[in-house]
Chains A and B, each alone.
Chain A
Amino acid sequence: MAKISISKAALAVSAVALGVTGGAFAGVPGYVDPTPGSANFDLTVDAGYISAADGSVIYMWGLHTPDRSLMQYPAPTLIVNEGDEVSITLTNCLDGEAAAENTSLIFPGFDVTATGGVAGAATREAAPTCNAADSVTYTFTADHAGTFLYQSGTNISVQSEMGLGGALIVRPTGFLHRDEMDIPDARPTADPTVATEDPFNYVPQSGNQIAYGTGTDFDYEYLYVLTDIDPDIHEMVRIGDMAGAKSRDGKAVYWMINGRAGPDTFFANDVPWLPTQPYGSMTQMQPGQKVLVRTVSLGRDLHPFHTHGNNLRVVAVDGNLLSSVPGSGIPDLGFSDFTVSGIPGQTFDGVFEWSDLGMGWDIFDEATQHPVEWHEPSARTDGTHGGVIPVSLPGIPDLTFGGFYSGSPYLGSFGQLPPGEGGLNLNGGFFYMWHSHNEKELVNNDIFPGGMMTMLIVEPFLDGNGDQLVIPRGSIFEKTAN
């Protein structure tokens, strides 16, 4: 059986992008309105096409902001502040499409007032005229912080499938970006008497990066919008057979994170060859840091989202902190799991941490003479500092090598690889797959691998050149839409 591998050529591009732009993947790309106290967005519904990573293109209905001419999938991520008066004006430019129909937006969990347009089952709807006179404006107060979804409230069984949905992030009161991460000078010194700074003791220069309250602080945040696609429904809609689309028992053959199927998920945001799929999902952190995992499910099926590397501590569902004391900000009712169900129509937030604690051996090569402060906690007593990997690994002829393997089992180190192997791991990081654990969903139609899959990179403190490695602070790429 011929096996199809991830294209090394394609990934080389990804690696270059990663290398050139540094931590181009960190953060949640999204739109903000810098006006204090309010957030206004204009969203337009258009038809368009996306690429499914196996070469096929899929007809979609999507939303976009005025700074883009093409629809995007998923819908633009909107980032507002708690207490903002949010106003979103929807214009329906499906006119000219064979199955053109009304559409609308719902914001579950918020008390929305809709004006304009015509009455619909869930809310007021915009007719497909592409005329501002038929637009609908949805206004609400973003009265609680969290991760939310917004999506079509019209013909939901078909328009959800077609792509009309995205993420809404409400920053809590008091949230403040860090101007820059406090990355200590953790460079090892030849002189062991020279103390090095504890890399785990981050002292934010400024800022208050929290998802809800003090119990949900994070160093980096990432968004994962989980969707699935049955292309037959899209084709029926494209040719105007809405009755056929509605009667079909949907059966997805594409599975996506942030609108991209693996391995496109590895690419940076806004790569030019995916013009309607602007969001990547490659994830970066360093040992001891906290990653906020914001997950939004907008498909038709449940997806078991598995975080390799460690358990994920779920702290909120549907923007509701799992807390026994409302208002405390402390997620004491959160639960830890290695695979969390993405349930369509739900969101969940989790905090992911990774360190070498409990590994039983030193993840840093003894040869690097690294400081004990690289371990967390550095004062621990399990004696793994300086401990080598307890087994010998097979020889090169016995092995198949992954492209993200550095050649060394140690973090930040490199080893010998056969010609043509590896090469995608610039800093000697540890790569972990984050993916749907219904493995059928790791394919793009009939081609493995792909699907609902991305990677976490636990990066070392030094890059491949021995220089301090800095992942840019989280929550970059916010931009204004108008």
Chain B
Amino acid sequence: MALTYDVVIIGGGVIGTAIAARLSQTKAKVCLVEKAGDIAEGASKGNAGGASSYYDPPGSLAERMTTASYKRWEDICERLNVPYRRIGGMIPAFTEKDEEQIHINYEEAKACGVRSEMLTKKQALQHEPMLAKDCHSAVLFADDGIIDPMRLVFAYAELAASNGVDVHFHSPVIGFETQGGLVSAAITPKGTIRAQFFVNASGVFADMISQFAEGEDFRMWPRRGQYWLLDREFGANIHHVIYGVAHPEAGTKGIHIYPTTNRSVLLGPSVEEIEDPYDTSTDAKTLDNVFQSTKRIMPSISLDYVIKSFAANRPTCEEPFFVRVDRKVPNLIHAVSRSIGVTTSPGIADYVLDLLKDSGLQAEEDLSAVLRLPFVPRLGHESHPERINLESVGRSFSQIVCVCEQVTAGEIEAALKAHIPARSIDGVRKRTGACGGRCQGAVCMAGVTFLCSAHGDQPPENILMREGGEIGIGRVHK
């Protein structure tokens, strides 16, 4: 028998889970389907975690969604226990052409009502002493912030699941049943799911989903970005997000220096239009270009601080940002965002709910829904860890498993026991940071594996590196 819901959300990235979290506050019956074995398996697991206040020209939908989101981060992140810091973002200019462009950014941001300020060379260097000394001027966006992008997605999903949203993994949508111009059911290898409405938040696969539903014709493709991750020892010296200048002819926002919420630093991303959404290979030439571009902005950047390099793909489309009811299929809603999924996710979630209600969904607010997640102490994120009350939270929060990222057994156990639990090494890494630090798991990966093993009642060799059916740490089939 087919499952039946009011709304099926397709895609467990930042946008899908944000929508699920918002709909979980209503009385609508909702599920989320994800083709992978965990959430945040696409673009959401490989981005810098920027939560911008300004990204697009005033009046665009992307601008409206950004504006509807950026002031709310302190509240959202406090409720959902997600690391967030409003550190401000800066675009330094090094040429006259750069200066012209950042003036345009300054004017645009002002027209969006965003706090922005032109800085002289002296002011720019006061804000960010490690900038190259030949910097001409800079524009500062004081309300830009940084967020832990993976923890945000898990928090959205966890909140949704706590309020009764069903999450179905290993459930790629491989077709739809249609009836009278509407989609009536999504077909997955695990079964058919009926619903009144379908929300397409499938990122780079959004074109395929639309095609399956006989909806609008558009094309998505992956844009690969390569990054360097630098150690906290370097990150301690950087106080803002430092953006590269976005010259319009380049078609991209440039290569940035992104402090992260755990004080490491990301350099990137590069821009490569590719075909295969699963191709996250890196190459030395592109990585060197990323390094040189950021070193131009901040000469003290050195590869001595490198923890790792990696690539991640972001969904790209000719129309970079659209959230709307499909023009052919009135009960299908697309939510597609290029590069600003995190930044716009709270705004998109509200907007999708409005679109659903306008289309006839009965979605009264559910006053009994929870709005916050239980607090999990994160020793590594505390500037005063000695204040953690171990008597009340439990001694396992003083048992260090991952030394580099200062992750405790308590945090890992919380990740293993969540509504949307970690079930692999990567699942633990995405939720807690364990195995993702300086030594890349050389110290703790065995411990993490044994914890997963004990919790899941599985021999250690069965523990997967990554959830999704691939063979893991040690299990090898001849």
Q: Do A and B come from one complex?
A: no
